Structures are given as C-alpha cells and as structure tokens.
Chains A and B, each alone.
Chain A
Amino acid sequence: MTMKSRDYQDLIGGGLLTAIGLFAAIYASQWNFGSMTRMGPGFFPTVVGILLALTGVLIAALALKRTGTMPSMQWRTMAYVFGGIILFSATLRSLGLVTAVFLTVILSSLADRETTWRLRLVLAVSITGFVVLVFRFGLNMVLPLWWGD
C-alpha cells in the first residue's frame, strides 16, 4: 500500500452503488413509465435507480479527497461458511436433515483456525441432536430425517 492511499472503502462502495443504480434504472426502462397522474411499474424503479447512482457518484467523488486504507476481506472464512450453507442446501432434501446438519457443521467449523477435530466432532453430533429434537420433533417441521425418507 502506498503512502498516498485513497479512501478505497468509499471509492469502491460508491462505484458499486453507482453501477447498481444505473443498472436498475436502465433495466427498468422495459416497463411502462406511466405519467405523474398514473405511475406505471417503471416509474419508481427508474427514479430510485437514478437517485442511487447519483448518491454513489457523490460518495465516490468525496472519497477521492480523503485518505484511507485498503479494506481486506476474510476470503478463507467466507469460503468455509458459504461452502457449508451451499452444502446444506444441496444435501437437505437428498440426504436428509441428519446428514446435512452434520456435514455443514463439519465444513463451516473449519473456518475457525483453533477448532480441533475433537471439538468439531462433538459440535457436529450435539448440534445435529439438538436440531433434530427441536425442529423435527419440537416444532414438527416437515423434513426428511434420512435419505429416502
């Protein structure tokens, strides 16, 4: 990072918001804008999109004059947590609640650097037990417990 670092957080954020606002407004042009008296479905999205884009530009422009640090993301943590959630979504219906919870706990707990395998297994077993008791039997949620259920 150079000494003359910019306020990257606002620069990136403002840029992203401008992009989203512009996209929303342009995308909204396919719907009838209507008139002031009879607002069509495109009216509100277009107006809000343009306002968001303008605000984004303002945020980024003000950030140019400020110093700041480059933000850092926890990619590793994100990968494990998101991986766990996606795994859950993929396995819940096919492999059942018990397997899905167990595997998701194992995968997402890898995000913490200090969790030992012993603790990981204890967590997986106890959370699975708790979830089955509370959600399946306590709240009577309709969920397959095992594959083929």
Chain B
Amino acid sequence: MELLNNLALGLDAAISPNTLLYCFIGVLLGTLIGVLPGIGALAAISLLLPLTFYIAPEAAIVMLAGVYYGSAYGGSTAAILLNLPGTPSSAVACLDGYPMGKQGRAGVALFITAIASFVGAMIGLTALVLFSPAIADLGLEFSPADYFALMLLGLVAASTISGGSALKGLAMVMLGLLLGMVGTDVNSGVPRYYFGYFQLLDGVSLVVLAMGLFGVAEVIASINNVPARTSKERHVTMRSMLPTRDDWKRSLTPMLRGAGIGGFFGALPGTGGAIASFISYATEKRMAKDPSRFGKGAIEGLAGPEASNNAAVQTAFVPSLTLGIPGDAVMALILGALIIHGITPGPMMMTQQPGLFWGLIVSFFIGNIMLLVLNIPLVGIWVKILSIPYRMLFPAIVIFICLGVYSANNSTFDILLVVVFGFAGYLLMVLKFEPAPVLLGYVLGPMMEENLRRALLISRGDMGVFLEKPISATFVAMTVMMLAWSLWTAVRGRQRGRPVDRGTPQSEQPDDTHPQPHDEAATVGKNGSVTGPRP
C-alpha cells in the first residue's frame, strides 16, 4: 500500500539520530515556551529561526514544527496553575482548569490535559496523513488564478476571523504586503522601497521582521508587567495526577469531539487553535446535562478544548505543506524557514521531496510521544520553571534577538532594523492592532503578486478569469462573503458603539453573548499583564 510505503520512508528519515535530537529540542523548547507567559510560539520560532541556518533543512523544520505543537501542550500548565494562559489558545484552559486547581485537583487537570493534547494531536495527524496526498493532487491542477484567489481567501480569512476588529486585521495584512515588496522586484529588476539602503535590496529579512514585531515588542510590553508567579502547587506528585474512573468517563467523548472540531477548523485558513478550542468549549457546554458545572472545574471543559487545540495545530499543516499556503502567522514563519532553506512548499514537495514531507509527518508522531513523556512525569519541572521571574529572562532574550538577527546575514544593519520593527510592533500592540497578519501578508505578498501577474497575462488582462473556473470562483465568492460580513459588523459596531461606556475599543465583536476567551488571551499576549485573580 502506498500510504504505508510513504510512512516507512518517513520513518527512515525521522529516526536518524540527528533528526530525533532536533525533534526533542524542538518539543522541549516548545513546552518551555508554552509554559512561560510572555513568550509566544511566534517569538520563540523567530528566535530559533537563525539557529536553523547552521543545521540541515530537514532537522530545522522538524525542530521549528516541534516548538509549535510543543507550545500547544505547555500553554495549559500556566493556565491551570496560575490562571495565566501561556499561549492564546490555552485561554480556554483557564475557565475550568484553574477552578480544578483551586479544588486541589491541579494534578488531575494537568494529567488530563496532557492526555487530551495527545489524543487530539494523534487524530489531527491521522487527518493530515489521510487528506494531504489528495489535496496536493488537487493543488497540482491549480492555475495561477486559482492560487491567487486561494491566497486572497487565506489572507482575508486570517485577518477577519481571528479575533479583534476585522478592518484592523485587513489593514495589517496590507501592511505586510507592502513590507513584502521591499527589495528588488524579481520580474522587472526594479528595486522597490529600499530608500537608498543597499542592505534592503534583498528585501526585509523574515528573521528581522518576526523578531522585531513579536520578540522585541513582547519583551517591552512584558517588562515590569508580568506579575510575580508563585504557585501553591509547587509539588505535583504522580499520585495526585491520577484521574478517577469518573474523570476518564467524562473526558473521553469530549476529547474525541474536540479533536474532530479542532481537526476541521485547523485545516481552514484563518481559524487556528484558539478558535477551535473555544468552539469545542461552547459545544461541550451545550451538550452537557448540567451546564452550570462549567467554569467551576468541569473536566469536560478542559479535555475537549485541549484536544481541539492540539488537533488544530496538526491539521494547520495541511494547507501549508500541500498547497504552500500558510493559514496563520506561525505557519507563515515555518514556510518562510522552508523557503530560506531552498525548499518550495506546495503540491510538488510531496512528489519531489517525499523523504522530507513524510519524515516531517512521522516526526510529528514521535514528537507527540516525547511530549507525553515530557508533560506527565516531568510536569514538576515545568511548575518550578513557572516561578522564574521575567526580569531574569528578558536580558537573555534581548541577546538572543540581537545574535539571531545578526547571524542570519552577518549584518549589523539588520540589528538596527530590528529596533525599527520592534518599535512598530510595540506601537501596534499599544494601539491594539494584532501584528500577526503582517507576517502572513509579508510571506504571501510576493507569491500573490506573481500569481496575479501570471493569471492576468494568461487571460490577456481580463479580470473575469477569476470567476470563470469553479475553483477560483468559489474562493472569490467566499472572500467576498467574508469581506461583506466584516464590513457589516464594523458598521454595526459603530451604531452600537455610540453610547458605549466600556473602556475597550474592541468590544464591538459580533456576539458578546459568550465569554470570549480569546479576548482575554489577546490581552495577556499583548501586554503580559493579567487582570485575572492573582494567586
């Protein structure tokens, strides 16, 4: 069977000692970063990106991906113990995880979280293995017009769906598109937006942009703002982690349901783990016999979203690896890393570099098993690490940023450029603009321009080409619907906003009937300060 052959090929590539080592480093760092509030997966991957120039591309991608899915495990630890989500997608884990911790069941909560994460990841991975070849085949049929329409849909979806104001998200994407144009235009050879600096002729480096927007900006926002983290649960013993029979029974179906929800939403562009976990939480609450238990330590409210989050993280690789189109900023970063290493992600990757593709997939399986080990017996270490004060961490982060940026091009100019983007990123945070879509626009920009140019060349300048074929017509229709929806909510928000006396300008979200966990997460991610109860 072809699938088994492919997996065997992947296993071959993934169990080389070197790849295993980098896989381990990746998931270890991912867990660490997930545990620590004030450093997100984006910042962590941008920090590690320059290091990967010194290792083989396969190992590099395995490691960066490990950081990504590893952080999805670690994020909930801080949420359960301290009511601080380590990553935005684990904000939901605060809702029932923290109350469980207060009831003295932190161990059980941590254990179920690890199991749910593992189950979710495995189901997401299975979906990735089963659907990727078919989607890549489909991708081979895509014309430039189809690609352009799909990228447009991806950008619009990512900026309008993922939290905050849709208009602001769209503006951020366009800002990213402009940044992607800096440097020599591949087609005409004309240098654009380089303002006389020859260092900019090759464009703004991905490392500089990501480190500035996420690394430096996060550091500035977190200094003097991350509260001292002390937890009563200094010692989580193995014995205290064992769930009761009742816990198992309550968590199993939510886990499976959550994994299904996460797997579906993860593969769509724009909807990542945060949204998937929120939808799973809402679903579990609706299906529960006694919804009033939710928010007071219901284990279903922890298991479902956690599985959902991790499944979404795995299926997020589907569009990225098969079509070369990243669904969110982290994926854009990983794709950017692939491109730097000379690998073009997309439908051809699976046929031209099957070892790399399937090796990566098998490494996900191995990485998740490692994570299970890291998160259950070693949870005590993570609990201790939580109490490292931020003031001891950030000087090291500043140094890593400087060295990482420098090493990418051996350029001190790039270090100064990181200050510019750091300031821009911090300004965006202060003004409550989400910087993540900038990166997406930056990575997709050059590809979009190229595909638009080709599509129009083939059609002799006729814009109708985007509506003639069913594939691109579908994407265009979906894009238009999303734009219409977001414009409508923006205007409706204005009407409702007139008498508003609430302090937050972003409260004009479509439905405020549910508690919005990603709002909370966004606040934590943005300035590191948390309004929630301090332990």
A residues near B (Cβ < 8 Å) are: 7, 9-10, 12-14, 17, 20-21, 24, 27-28, 31-32, 35-41, 43-45, 48-49, 51-52, 55-56, 58-59, 62-63, 65-69, 71-74, 77-78, 81-82, 84-86, 88-90, 92-93, 101, 104-105, 108-109, 111-115, 119, 123-124, 127, 130-131, 135, 139-142
Contacts and interface: CB of A to CB of B under 8 A. Distances in A.
B412 A81 contact: no
Nearest to A81: B220
Contacts of B505: 7, 9-10, 63, 66, 68
Contacts of A10: 165, 168, 431-432, 505
B309 to A, nearest CB: 29
A108 B397 CA distance: 10
Contacts of A89: 402, 406, 412, 415-416
A55 B167 contact: yes
Interface in B105-124: none
B426 interface: yes
A94 B459 CA distance: 56
B178 A20 contact: yes
A7 B175 CA distance: 21
Given A105-B396, A131-B403, 16 more contacts: A10-B431, A13-B168, A17-B175, A24-B178, A31-B192, A39-B457, A41-B187, A44-B181, A55-B171, A71-B431, A71-B432, A74-B220, A92-B412, A93-B412, A104-B402, A112-B390
A85 B185 contact: no
Contacts of B403: 131, 135, 141
B396 A13 contact: no
Interface string B22-56: 00000000000000000000000000000100100
A73 B224 contact: no
Chain B contact surface mostly = helix
Contact residues on B (Cβ < 8 Å of other chain), bracket: 35 or more
Nearest to B498: A65
Interface string B496-517: 0110111101001000000000
B188 A67 contact: no
B391 interface: yes
Given A17-B175, A65-B494, A37 B460 contact: yes
Contact of B395 (A45, A58, A65, A105): A105
A59 B497 CA distance: 14
B170 interface: yes
Given A24-B193, A36-B456, A112 B426 contact: no
B357 to A, nearest CB: 27
Contacts of A131: 399, 403
12 contacts: A10-B505, A36-B461, A41-B190, A66-B498, A85-B415, A108-B398, A109-B394, A112-B224, A119-B391, A139-B54, A141-B54, A142-B410
Most buried by A among B167, B395, B453: B395
Contacts of B223: 74, 77, 81, 111-112
A20 B452 contact: no
Nearest to A69: B503
B177 interface: yes
Nearest to B167: A59
Given A28-B192, A48-B177, A81 B402 contact: no
A20 B392 CA distance: 37
Nearest to A141: B407
Greatest chain A CB density within 10 A among B171, B185, B193 is at: B171
A104 B391 contact: no
A113 B223 CA distance: 9
Contacts of A93: 412
Given A65-B498, A67-B501, A17 B171 contact: yes
B12 to A, nearest CB: 27
Contact of A37 (B192, B402, B426, B461): B461
Interface string B405-442: 01100101001101100110011101111000000000
B423 A78 contact: yes
Contacts of A31: 188, 190, 192
Contacts of B354: none
A45 B216 CA distance: 28
